[in-house]
A and B are shown apart, each in its own frame.
Chain A
Amino acid sequence: MLAVVSCFKTASQALLLNKLRSFLTMLGIVIGVAAVIIIISVGAGAQSLILAQVKSLGTNLIGVLPGKSEETGPPASVMGIVITTLTYDDAMALADKNNTPYITSVVAYAKGVATVNWRDHSVDTNISGTTNGYLETENGEVEVGRFFNKDEEKSLVKIAVLGSQVKKDLFGESDAVGQKIKIKKEAFEVIGVMKKRGTVAFQNYDDQIFVPISTAQKLLLGVDHINLIRAKIDHEEHIDQAIADVKRVLRERHDITNPADDDFSVRSAAQALDVITQITNALKYFLAAIAALSLVVGGIGIMNIMLIAVTERTREIGLRKAIGATNKNILSQFLAEAISITLIGGILGMVLGVLISLFISTGAHLLSYEWDFIISPASIVLALSISFLVGLVFGTYPARRASHLDPIEALRYE
């Protein structure tokens, strides 16, 4: 133990003799470690933000998608495949308390994209043909005017409720309710404007126009199927039971006896959270791995400088051997120097990384994002052990070279 201490004492003396050089050599490690820490921390912060947003939608929601898919994989509709197996009547069947006692409300969607005009303004936006159940199921709130009612969703009445973004783009500050807008050349009366909701889990809730689902299907999209059913469960504990109910009802309606032949898939928000966590984790670690590459570059810089140092200090090595240093002593001395550089660099990089991460999370908070400042102890342990390892790996060759110098030759070296 004492030998190790004296090794690092000698090493720090040597490093202090060449302060600028030691610092510049260290810089590669500082930046590498800081980058790894920042990416892991910012990644975890962004992840917490996304997960919090998804949770804000309600964890007691389940979604029914057309087409069969693995529970852990993406649904077919994500790939752009159109499957037409779900209908408005399916959604209504799920809303029936006799079929599904735990479901409190249901919303069906038929989605599309269209250009919308008001006077000489025009925007491209999302058309959400939906049902009255949207308000309750998705916690939607109307800012001005009203949402369409149960009767209107089945009729072909041409009325529309604007998302706050669409309202702003089309009408600016002027009133929208009562105005006529054109969607795909059909005139619609604006009956309401939704409250601003922001972007949640990559989906912009404000950039859409709600129209009654039948109107959307028949007049705008020309389809009979729907894209998505969402159902709200009375209590989180009943989610599994509710999913079973939904499957039973839909199989009955679709004449399916073998679950392998399902033409729909049911997902809960909990599953969605899992999938999002998996994706964001993969991104986070991929970026951290790229950042860690800079540590290798830093390590090569250290090896380079250590080789120069060994050559420069050949006479010193010769002398140390002449006065009794063993090969092991010399090896430890130069290894200690390399490891000191990387460890000190690692600690500086860690402090820098934590400070920058704190700065970013504080900034995100000021912009009123729910961004957690997360530094996992694991990332600190990882960063420090990697710096130690880099020193060990890239310091070994120069140190071995130093320890194998012939003392007589080394003493004569000019």
Chain B
Amino acid sequence: MLISVSNLKKIYVSDEVVTKVLHGLTLNIESGEFVSIMGPSGSGKSTLMHILGFLDKPSSGKYYFEGQDVTKLEDEQLALLRNGKVGFVFQTFNLLPRTSVFDNVKLPLLYSKMPDEEKDERVKKVINAVDMSHRENYFSNQLSGGEQQRVAIARALVNNPAIIFADEPTGNLDSVSGVQIMKILQKLNDQGKTIILVTHEIYTSEHAKRIIKIKDGRIVGDEPVMNRRIATDGEILK
């Protein structure tokens, strides 16, 4: 079992105001799955993703990652997990401006123990995997949105993580670019990578193999996708 979560709760307390975001979620995700976490904004899906991706800590409940209880880990150890076990793809790409594609993709390796001589080779390999080799020395701000997101996926892949978290990866893209991104994610999943896609669009979520629906901090649906969409050129995301 890759991810095993039980009775996960998240409560924010600020200025005496208590906001319950997650009300005791329980779910399991196996290695190799392609899961959509779907729900309207404010449903708690982003918070769930942040906890699953070690960016945030639950208020209570259990989270086992690869059999390890991660709720007890210190910040340093969580940073280590983020670096080695997960890759993030954000809606807003979050590439460093005025920095080359190559250096952007290499960024996570700055914090990893990978031997220096392997790093450049690894970076070139993942840039090639998202078909961006021809832009390797471009600055990230010279690229189109779709290209930027492909670079971001390469960056998420560079440490060979167990899971890719994609938070509304197509949200800022036109539909043609969006299809390309979904195609890459599906291809990665076909190669065995576990992917967790967070989205509020039913259409996008149907590219996954399994959809977990969240509403008001509770799981309201968890089922496999019957008619899975396969991203192909010419398809219009809507």
Chain A residues packing against B (C-beta within 8 Å): 6, 10, 13, 17, 315-316, 318-329, 407-408, 411
Whether the pair B55, A323 counts as a contact (CB closer than 8 A) is: no
- Least CB distance, A2 to chain B, in whole angstroms: 8
Q: Name 15 A/B residue pairs within 8 A (Cβ), A-sorted.
A: A10-B110, A13-B99, A315-B94, A321-B55, A322-B53, A322-B82, A322-B88, A323-B82, A323-B83, A323-B88, A323-B155, A324-B84, A325-B110, A327-B79, A408-B56
B55 and A408 within 8 A (CB):
yes
CB within 8 Å for A319 and B94 given contacts A327-B75, A329-B111 = yes
Which residues of B are found within 8 Å of A17, using beta-carbon distances?
98
B236 within 8 Å of A (CB atoms): no
A324 touches B94 (CB 8 A): no
* Residues in A whose Cβ lies below 8 Å from that of B143: none
> Across the interface, which residues of A come within 8 angstroms of B94, CB to CB?
315, 318-319, 322, 411
Chain A residues, CB < 8 A from B55? 321-322, 407-408
Residue contact A326 to B75, C-beta cutoff 8 Å: yes
Please, how many residues of chain B have a CB less than 8 angstroms from a CB on the other chain? 26
Q: Which of A13, A322, A326 has a CB less than 8 Å from the CB of B76?
A: A326
Q: How far is the CA of A13 from the CA of B139 in the complex (A)?
A: 14
Partner of B79, one of A10, A315, A326, A411: A326
B108 and A324 within 8 A (CB)? yes
Closest to B156 in A: A323
What chain A residues lie within 8 Å of B110 (beta carbons)? 6, 10, 325, 329
Secondary structure at chain A's binding surface: helix, strand, loop or mixed?
helix
Complex contact A323–B111 (CB within 8 A)? yes
- Find A323's partner among B99, B103, B107 (CB 8 Å cutoff): B107
Q: Please indicate the chain B residues that have their CB under 8 angstroms from the CB of A10 in the complex.
A: 110
Q: State whether the Cβ of B50 lies closer than 8 Å to any Cβ in chain A.
A: yes
Chain A residues contacting B96 (CB-CB under 8 Å) are: 316, 319
Q: Is the CB of A323 within 8 A of B108?
A: yes
Q: CB-CB contacts of B76-95 with A at 8 A, as 1s and 0s?
A: 10011011100110100010
B159 proximity list for chain A (CB < 8 A): 324
Question: Which residues of the other chain, A, contact B112 by a CB distance below 8 angstroms?
Answer: 324
Q: Kindly state the separation between the CA atoms of A301 and B10 in the bound complex, as whole angstroms.
A: 42
Do residues A411 and B90 form an inter-chain contact, with CB atoms below 8 A?
A: yes
* Distance of A258 Cα from B108 Cα, bound (Å): 85
How far apart sit A152 and B207, CA to CA, in the bound complex (Å)? 122
The answer to whether A321 and B56 have CB atoms under 8 Å apart is no
Q: 12 other contacts beyond A320-B107, A329-B110, with CB at 8 A cut-off?
A: A10-B110, A316-B96, A322-B53, A322-B94, A323-B155, A324-B82, A324-B111, A325-B83, A326-B75, A326-B80, A329-B111, A411-B94
Q: Of residues 141 to 169 in B, which have CB atoms within 8 Å of A's CB atoms? A: 155, 159
**Residues B50 and A408 in contact, CB atoms below 8 Å apart:** yes
Closest CB of chain B to A100's CB: distance in Å?
81
How long is the Cα–Cα vector from A324 to B88 in the complex, in angstroms? 11
Give the Cβ gap from B41 to chain A, nearest Cβ, in Å: 13
Instruction: Determine whether the beta carbon of A324 is less than 8 Å from that of B56.
Output: no
Please, how many angstroms separate the alpha-carbon atoms of A328 and B79 in the complex? 10
The distance from the CB of A385 to the nearest CB of chain B, in whole angstroms, is 29
Kindly supply a per-residue 1/0 record for chain B positions 178-221, scoring 1 wherever the CB is within 8 Å of any chain A CB and 0 otherwise.
00000000000000000000000000000000000000000000
- Taking CB as reference atom, which chain B residue is nearest A327? B75
Expressed in whole angstroms, the minimum distance between the Cβ of A62 and any Cβ of chain B is: 72
Chain B residue nearest to A407 in the complex (CB): B55
- What is the minimal beta-carbon distance from A38 to any residue of chain B, in angstroms? 37
A318 to B50, CA, bound (A): 13
State in angstroms the CA–CA spacing of A320 and B82 once bound together.
10
A407 and B57 CA atoms in complex are apart in Å by 12
Tell me the smallest distance from the CB of A230 to a CB of chain B, in Å. 74
Best-surrounded residue of B53, B79, B83, B96 (most CB of chain A within 10 A): B79
Bound state CA distance, A328 and B75, in angstroms?
A: 10
**Distance A10 CA – B55 CA, assembled complex (angstroms):** 23
Q: What's the Cα separation between A325 and B50 when bound, in Å?
A: 16
Which residue in chain B gives the minimum CB-CB distance to A326?
A: B79
Q: Kindly list chain B residues whose C-beta atoms are within 8 Å of the C-beta of A327.
A: 75-76, 79
The docked-state distance in angstroms from the alpha carbon of A411 to that of B46 is: 12
Is the Cβ of A326 less than 8 Å from the Cβ of B111?
A: yes
CA distance A329 to B75 in the complex (A): 12
**Closest A residue, CB atoms, query B94:** A319
Residue of A nearest to B95 (CB): A319
Question: Closest CB-CB distance, A329 to chain B, in whole Å?
Answer: 6
Residues of A within 8 A of B87 (CB): 323
Complex: A10 Cα to B104 Cα, angstroms: 12
- The answer to whether A325 touches B75, judged by C-beta atoms less than 8 angstroms apart, is no
Task: Name B111's closest neighbour in chain A (CB-CB).
Answer: A324
Nearest chain B CB to A260 CB, angstrom units: 72
Which residues of B111-150 have CB atoms within 8 Å of chain A's CB atoms?
A: 111-112
